[in-house]
Chain A
Amino acid sequence: MKRYFGFILALLAIQNDLFAAEAGMPQLDPKYWASQAFWLILVFTILYISIAKFYLPKIKNNLDNRENKIKDDLDDANKFKELSESKLKEYEKILEDAKKEIIKIHIDSKNILNKDIQTKKEAVEKDIEKEIVKAQKEIIDLKKNSVSDIQKISEDIASNIIEKISGDKLNESSIKAAVEETSKKNLGKYL
């Protein structure tokens, strides 16, 4: 309690001291007006000159730099965007062309193959026809030959049969004539 009291007393003493200094408004005392005006003008002039000549151009310069940089970067970005778009178009065009070419190649190769197949088919067909003709000729030849053979065989058989039945040997030419006549009559049945 005593300590608090002493503390408060001390504070009051300081406070009284502070209040003692208050004698009106020092602002209205003209004693230092000239000094304040002089120093204000001096300090402010120095401040103004150093700000105007040195610091503001620096800040302005830096702000302009930043603005230009941002503008340039944006321009660059736009340019790159356009570039990429044109590249994309180019790429799409190339893709389209390639697709067209593929279709063309497809059709072309199809045509070539068809033609090839056609010619080969025709050649094969011709061959086959030739073979057929040949074979038919052969058959006809064979038939013709077989007719003469058959005639001969018939003559032989006929002379043999006549010999066995009658015991006589007949004239060959007359047998031949008889066989020829009969075969001419009946050959149509077999050929």
Chain B
Amino acid sequence: MQQFNVHKIGPEIKIAGVDLSFTNSSLFMVISASVILLFLFLGTREKKIVPDKIQLIAEMFYTFVAKMISDTAGSKAKPYFPFIFSLFMFVLFCNMVGMLPYSFTVTSHIIVTLIMALFIFIAVTIIGFVKHGFKYLNIFVPSGVPVVLLPLITVIEIISYLSRPVSLSVRLFANMMAGHTMLKVFGGFVISLGLLGGWLPLGFSVALTGLEILVAFLQAYVFAILTCIYLNDALNLHH
């Protein structure tokens, strides 16, 4: 589909034989990041005791993410707050910017979400081993399981642990792509059914746009909260 196409903007940049050209995907990453930074700049420009609207929204984002982290990962996760906050904001704003017509949805590409998920997965694993050493492997051996079932459970746990980056990345990517594809399909129906029958899919399109904005927020939230949960597993060994 055209809206998912990646194309070069400007000259081709090749480093060590790898094509690192600036593309429309890169452009929308830069736009999303710029919007975040602009929003945060406006939100922190004035340090009012009684905040104005934009300052209030910035502070709400802050408290929202801070509460999410303390609820799921506890106080030990405080040093990772800036990362989770940046991650949440980046995914949210990429999703939201992607909702604008003729824009490009950065998070609808599996490679982007996979890199984020892999980074989280590797970082969480390293944190787990640094904090607990080889005891971290206990995460694969849940306590209170009958000995007979233990080999099976351990295998399942290992598979589920290793599939974390896949599930995390595919969830976001598939949601974004499916939503945009649905909008596209209903948009196509509006045109092909014409003036007489096009009103119904047009209504669906409008409704779906609302739904997609919800999904854009929800997926950013899910992405961030799953990161918190993985972090929690690494910081507080429960098993």
- The chain B residue sitting closest to A73, CB to CB, is B49
The interface residues of chain B lying within 8 Å CB-to-CB of A19 are 188
- The chain A residue sitting closest to B192, CB to CB, is A15
Contact A34 B192 (CB under 8 A): no
Stretch at the interface among A63-71, A124-132, A178-186: A63-71
- The chain A residue sitting closest to B15, CB to CB, is A38
Interface check A50, CB cutoff 8 A: yes
Contact A44 B111 (CB under 8 A): no
Partner of A47, one of B25, B41, B90, B192: B90
Return B133 CB to nearest CB of chain A, in Å.
28
A29 vs B1: C-alpha distance when bound (angstroms): 12
The interface residues of chain A lying within 8 Å CB-to-CB of B19 are 31-32, 34-35
Interface check A22, CB cutoff 8 A: yes
A116 vs B111: C-alpha distance when bound (angstroms): 115
Contact A15 B188 (CB under 8 A): yes
Contact A56 B194 (CB under 8 A): no
Interface check B199, CB cutoff 8 A: no
Interface check A190, CB cutoff 8 A: no
A25 vs B27: C-alpha distance when bound (angstroms): 20
Interface check B74, CB cutoff 8 A: no
> Chain A residues in contact with chain B, CB under 8 A?
4, 8, 11-12, 14-15, 18-19, 21-22, 25-29, 31-41, 43-44, 46-48, 50-52, 55-56, 58-63, 65-66, 69
Contact B86 A48 (CB under 8 A): yes
Main secondary structure of the interface of B (DSSP, over half): helix
A22 vs B1: C-alpha distance when bound (angstroms): 4
A44 vs B88: C-alpha distance when bound (angstroms): 11
Given known A27-B110, A40-B116, A44-B90, contact A63–B40 (CB-CB < 8 A): no
Given known A26-B1, A33-B111, A69-B49, contact A63–B33 (CB-CB < 8 A): no
Contact B30 A62 (CB under 8 A): no
Main secondary structure of the interface of A (DSSP, over half): helix
Contact B26 A44 (CB under 8 A): no
A63 vs B58: C-alpha distance when bound (angstroms): 11
The interface residues of chain A lying within 8 Å CB-to-CB of B59 are 59, 62-63
Q: Bits for B107-118, please: 1 = Cβ < 8 Å to A, else 0.
A: 011111001100
Contact A21 B21 (CB under 8 A): no
Number of residues in B with C-beta < 8 Å to the partner?
51
Return A155 CB to nearest CB of chain B, in Å.
128
Contact B5 A35 (CB under 8 A): no
Given known A27-B173, A47-B33, A63-B62, contact A39–B4 (CB-CB < 8 A): no
A74 vs B132: C-alpha distance when bound (angstroms): 44
Return B53 CB to nearest CB of chain A, in Å.
15
Return B6 CB to nearest CB of chain A, in Å.
4
Kindly list 17 other residue pairs between chains A and B, CB separation below 8 angstroms, not including A43-B30, A59-B59, A60-B62. Answer: A15-B188, A21-B1, A27-B4, A32-B25, A36-B26, A39-B30, A47-B36, A47-B37, A48-B82, A48-B83, A48-B86, A50-B37, A52-B83, A52-B86, A56-B82, A58-B44, A58-B47
Return B25 CB to nearest CB of chain A, in Å.
5
A4 vs B195: C-alpha distance when bound (angstroms): 9
Partner of B109, one of A36, A56, A69: A36
Partner of A59, one of B2, B30, B44: B44
The interface residues of chain B lying within 8 Å CB-to-CB of A56 are 62, 81-82, 85
The interface residues of chain B lying within 8 Å CB-to-CB of A40 are 29, 106, 112, 115-116
A66 vs B63: C-alpha distance when bound (angstroms): 13
Contact A34 B191 (CB under 8 A): no
Return B139 CB to nearest CB of chain A, in Å.
27
By CB atoms of chain B within 10 A, which of A14, A31, A32, A48 has the most? A32
Interface check B92, CB cutoff 8 A: no
The interface residues of chain B lying within 8 Å CB-to-CB of A48 are 82-83, 86
Return A123 CB to nearest CB of chain B, in Å.
82
A56 vs B40: C-alpha distance when bound (angstroms): 9
A12 vs B195: C-alpha distance when bound (angstroms): 13
Interface check B231, CB cutoff 8 A: no
